[in-house]
Amino acid sequence: QGSLWICCRNRALPRSTLLKVGDCERRLGAAEREFIQTSAISFLNPLRNFLEGDWRTISRERRLLENLRLDLDACKARVKKAKAAEAKAAVAPDFQETRPRNYVLSASASALWTEEVEKAEQDLRLAQTEFDRQAEVTRLLLEGISSTHVNHLRCLHEFVEAQAAYYKQGHLHMLELQKELGRLPNAFALNSTHSVAAAAGASEGTESPVETETLKIEEVQAPATGTRKAKVLYDYDAADSSELSLLADELITVYTVPGMDSDWLIGEKGNQKGKVPVTYLELLS
């Protein structure tokens, strides 16, 4: 605040200009806060609720389904192994073997493997039932995602619209500020002229700042050489009769005159003529 007061007192920068810039920054900050709040409500919160709610449930059910599939595969392998052992134990004895087997033990083993096959098949049916039930639960949950996707697309669309509105609002604020600052060089020139006139009036007692005349546009003539074409970047509304109003994308002829501020040029379009800010132009040739 102290340096700001010193700047204003020494007329390094008009106080009104600093207030305009500060007000523009305040509006930009308000637009940013509104964008953050809108983004949180329309996109971030729904996404967080989905990830912490529905998606967590779906992930848990899918992991359970994978575990049941592994149990089912294990039961199938167990049944296959039991049936192979049962078939081997049920083979008819070969009395031509050089080392006869204990056929009593072989018959007992065949009965045990038959019982093992029945138990394995029962476990397989139970595993298949649990797997089918879990597969149906998972399928229903995954089908519900389609409606969730529609909601997510709507939230994403609202987020993009909010972001576009934020950038547009910020662009408009900066254009408005640029228009205000575009008039500053003229104000600085007048302030410096008034200061010189005031100093001369104080020393000689014969002049006053009010007697200083500004540039008369109607008396300005285009030079024989040195004119250039320029493309207008932004719309500009003339502050007074000495300035020329501009429309974005139109082409005008510009040139400078001796003693004119470097931030301004004389612009002509048709039979209209006036001062234009350089920051609003793109010089083409």
Q: For the chain, what are the domain ranges?
A: 14-182, 215-283
pLDDT score of 5 more than 60: no
pLDDT value for 206: 40
Any bridge partners for residue 273, and if so which? 268
pLDDT value for 15: 73
pLDDT score of 129 more than 90: yes
Supply the DSSP string of 126-167, one letter for each residue: HHHHHHHHHHHHHHHHHHTHHHHHHHHHHHHHHHHHHHHHHH
DSSP for residue 217: G
Asked whether the whole model's pTM tops 0.75, one would answer no
Enter the CATH code of domain 215-283: 2.30.30.40
pLDDT score of 212 more than 90: no
For the segment 63-92, what is each residue's pLDDT rounded down to a tens digit?
999 999 999 999 999 999 888 888 877 765
- Is residue 234 classed as helix, strand or coil in its secondary structure? coil
pLDDT value for 252: 92
Indicate the helix (H) or strand (E) that contains 103. Answer: helix 103-143
Averaged pLDDT score across all residues of the chain: 78
Enter the CATH code of domain 14-182: 1.10.287
Q: Give the mean model confidence (pLDDT) for residues 228-251.
A: 90
Residue 198 CA, distance from chain mean position? 54
pLDDT value for 14: 62
pLDDT score of 189 more than 80: no
pLDDT value for 193: 46
Handedness of CA 172, 178, 182, 183 (dihedral sign): positive
pLDDT score of 197 more than 80: no
Q: Which of 277, 246, 281, 247 is nearest to 260 (CA)?
A: 277
Q: Give the confidence band of 245 by pLDDT, cuts at 50, 70, 90.
A: very high
Exposed e or buried b per residue across 39-48, where buried means at least 16 C-beta atoms within 10 angstroms of its C-beta: beebbeebee
Instruction: Kindly list the distances between the CA atom of residue 275 and the CA atoms of 5, 92, 94, 238, 241, in Å, as whole numbers in the listed order.
Output: 31, 116, 119, 9, 9
For the segment 12-55, what is each residue's pLDDT rounded down to a tens digit?
456 777 888 888 899 999 999 999 998 998 888 888 888 888 88
Q: Give the confidence band of 93 by pLDDT, cuts at 50, 70, 90.
A: low
Kindly state the percentage of the chain with pLDDT values over 90.
27
For the ranges 209-213, 223-227, 264-268, the lowest mean pLDDT is seen at 209-213
